[in-house]
Chain A
């Protein structure tokens, strides 16, 4: 028997009871649509969280002195930095880089004290690597000609009641191990979209650091942006070869939890979809069982006239798979339209904005969904439909043709 005949019978059979088939098709459409949109939301949330971290601080690659990575001692600066800079300038995989001094200290004012990470930067280089300058909500990003100015996060500013031009004192252990205090004025307040980052990190100019700490003779951190993700790994390996005192790290090695969440995301989504679609499969099984009970006589007749069990099994499976094949294009289409729309206009989640910011996610979500998800989840639906068809198909094989036809 030709497969085309079975396909023809299967296809026509699903339209015998249009209302029932349409209910199943609609449930598959909504199930897949829901799954794809939730996948898109999760991927967008995750990537926004990742991008916020990369864009505000991490960059693609960071270089430190190996010792600095262990102890965070101010004296452990990056050696031979001029040679390194020369390499970075001449490497076409490097989009931009910056140089930072990093000091762990205590920030105090009349309201209280708080442990912070002071990032000394050269603003003209830093703006090519990170985007904190675009997140300023009050004041400026180092436009003042004054020395010893500081840009702080909104959350820290709220905690210590900091305002523009407020005075703060940073206390830390200097290169010689002596406790040193430096006075700064608040020049700007930023809100990066990650409240944890805003709570802990403050920016000052490298000049301010070097003029106050003459014994500090170098930088602690070089953040690098690459031209694209594909070259990051090779650049990291090449930079590592330059000098064995360097600790060259991919952003995922620094923010391990972010990289891990990113890796886990797709597995989690597929498991989630499997659970959603498993629920859907019960609806499919129920519908197909009803269809088979209705057509018991017909199936009995087919067995009587010599249709093999394999063909009957295949016919039932095909009918079930057809239901999903009808539903999938509609699901994919409406998902594509939805995601396309919200990729531009965004979904405003400001109502839960503070909660999202705690996780480093902005309040506007610009949906996106990689094309492989459309393909893989559609395949998953077909697979689930096929598995769902097994039970009704096995049930059909148990039909006794003599009883089913009630006569010969």
Chain B
């Protein structure tokens, strides 16, 4: 379970203090398929960054499965992210010099997988996202939708507790978006993987089973479908 308690994140813009996240209390249970929505500047990304340990909150707590991760050191946080959180980025962020398969295997290498297990798992994951026949292609040889599917497979490689996805469909056409959402939805239902999106894509919002709406850093609506 992901839990935030009175979470605040304040940025300084010159002499002004901007409250990007303002006193957010949120609980996301295992197996949820949650979309965090809101207009630009509402604090969606900052909230996800704090949950994923990429940003330190100004005050408040982030608790994951009972562990207070907001008190972790930088190195502890890197290790925690490696073993517990999968990330899907808006612009895919695959390593351009590695093939699709190698991009996935890199996470497992960091975790210390042996070669045999790693190869099997990376092949399984690529098949899972429908990219099994493109395992040897580099990112530059793949379309945006295909790259994002590889990115989803990469986020799953470390067997994370949950996946944080920031606007994962923002750069995709409708066909690729539908395919990606099908994959993530299936993984959520079959594998019980928790997905948390930040998005303002109506297609994602329509498929989400819970929609948390942020405005000026505050939760103004939390609807479970």
Residues of A within 8 A of B (CB): 1-2, 5, 8-9, 12-13, 15-16, 297-298, 301-309, 311, 401-402, 405-408
Q: Which residues of A lie under 8 Å from residue B78 when comparing CB positions?
A: 303, 306-309
Stretch at the interface among B21-29, B106-114, B176-184: B106-114
Of the candidates B48, B88, B102, B107, the one whose C-beta lies within 8 Å of that of A306 is B107
| Cβ of B38 under 8 Å from chain A | no
> Which of A5, A13, A309, A408 is the most central at the interface, judged by chain B CB atoms within 10 Å of its CB?
A408
| Cβ of B214 under 8 Å from chain A | no
Chain A nearest CB, measured from B158 CB (Å): 7
The answer on a CB contact under 8 Å between B95 and A298 is: yes
Q: State in angstroms the CA–CA spacing of A291 and B54 once bound together.
A: 23
The answer on a CB contact under 8 Å between B97 and A16 is: yes
The majority secondary structure among interface residues of chain A is helix
Q: Which residues of A lie under 8 Å from residue B155 when comparing CB positions?
A: 305
The answer on a CB contact under 8 Å between B98 and A402 is: no
Q: State in angstroms the CA–CA spacing of A331 and B158 once bound together.
A: 44
The answer on a CB contact under 8 Å between B109 and A402 is: no
Closest to B138 in A: A12
Q: Which residues of A lie under 8 Å from residue B95 when comparing CB positions?
A: 9, 298, 301-302
Chain A nearest CB, measured from B57 CB (Å): 12
Chain A nearest CB, measured from B139 CB (Å): 11
Of the candidates A307, A309, A407, the one whose C-beta lies within 8 Å of that of B167 is A407
Closest to B54 in A: A402
Closest to B80 in A: A306
| Cβ of B135 under 8 Å from chain A | no
Would A16 and B89 be within 8 Å (CB), given that A307-B78, A307-B110, A407-B166 are in contact?
no
Q: State in angstroms the CA–CA spacing of A388 and B160 once bound together.
A: 37
Of the candidates A12, A305, A306, A408, the one whose C-beta lies within 8 Å of that of B165 is A408
The answer on a CB contact under 8 Å between B48 and A305 is: no
Closest to B110 in A: A1
Chain A nearest CB, measured from B177 CB (Å): 17
The answer on a CB contact under 8 Å between A5 and B109 is: yes
Q: State in angstroms the CA–CA spacing of A304 and B110 once bound together.
A: 13
Q: List 19 A-B contacts (CB under 8 A).
A: A12-B97, A298-B95, A301-B95, A304-B81, A305-B81, A305-B155, A306-B83, A306-B107, A307-B78, A307-B110, A308-B79, A309-B75, A311-B110, A405-B54, A406-B90, A407-B45, A408-B45, A408-B48, A408-B52
With contacts A304-B54, A304-B81, A407-B198 known, what are 10 further pairs, Cβ within 8 A?
A2-B109, A301-B87, A301-B89, A304-B87, A308-B79, A405-B89, A407-B48, A407-B90, A408-B45, A408-B88
Q: Which residues of A lie under 8 Å from residue B208 when comparing CB positions?
A: none
Q: State in angstroms the CA–CA spacing of A67 and B185 once bound together.
A: 104
Q: State in angstroms the CA–CA spacing of A402 and B102 once bound together.
A: 24
Interface string of B98-120 (1 = CB under 8 A from A): 10001000110110100000000
Rank and list the top 8 A-B pairs by shortest CB-CB distance, nearest first: A306-B82, A12-B97, A407-B166, A301-B93, A408-B166, A402-B54, A402-B49, A1-B110
Q: State in angstroms the CA–CA spacing of A144 and B28 once bound together.
A: 114
| Cβ of B55 under 8 Å from chain A | yes
The answer on a CB contact under 8 Å between A405 and B82 is: no
The answer on a CB contact under 8 Å between B106 and A5 is: yes
Of the candidates A16, A306, A402, the one whose C-beta lies within 8 Å of that of B55 is A402
| Cβ of B154 under 8 Å from chain A | yes
| Cβ of B164 under 8 Å from chain A | yes
| Cβ of B91 under 8 Å from chain A | yes
Q: Which residues of B lie under 8 Å from residue A401 when comparing CB positions?
A: 54
Of the candidates A5, A9, A408, the one whose C-beta lies within 8 Å of that of B49 is A408
Chain B nearest CB, measured from A193 CB (Å): 58
Q: For window 190-217 of chain B, which residues contact chain A by CB distance below 8 Å?
A: 198
The answer on a CB contact under 8 Å between A306 and B81 is: yes
Closest to A408 in B: B166
Q: Which residues of B lie under 8 Å from residue A406 when comparing CB positions?
A: 90-91
Of the candidates A13, A304, A402, A408, the one whose C-beta lies within 8 Å of that of B97 is A13
Chain B nearest CB, measured from A303 CB (Å): 7
Q: State in angstroms the CA–CA spacing of A308 and B110 once bound together.
A: 9
| Cβ of B39 under 8 Å from chain A | no
| Cβ of B41 under 8 Å from chain A | no
Chain A nearest CB, measured from B56 CB (Å): 9
The answer on a CB contact under 8 Å between B97 and A1 is: no
The answer on a CB contact under 8 Å between A408 and B110 is: no
Q: Which residues of B lie under 8 Å from residue A405 when comparing CB positions?
A: 54, 89, 93
Closest to B55 in A: A402
Of the candidates B81, B96, B158, B164, the one whose C-beta lies within 8 Å of that of A16 is B96
Chain B nearest CB, measured from A323 CB (Å): 15
Q: State in angstroms the CA–CA spacing of A311 and B89 once bound together.
A: 22
Q: State in angstroms the CA–CA spacing of A394 and B109 once bound together.
A: 23
Chain A nearest CB, measured from B81 CB (Å): 5
Would A1 and B109 be within 8 Å (CB), given that A9-B95, A407-B166, A408-B89 are in contact?
yes
Of the candidates B55, B97, B107, the one whose C-beta lies within 8 Å of that of A305 is B107
Interface string of B3-35 (1 = CB under 8 A from A): 000000000000000000000000000000000
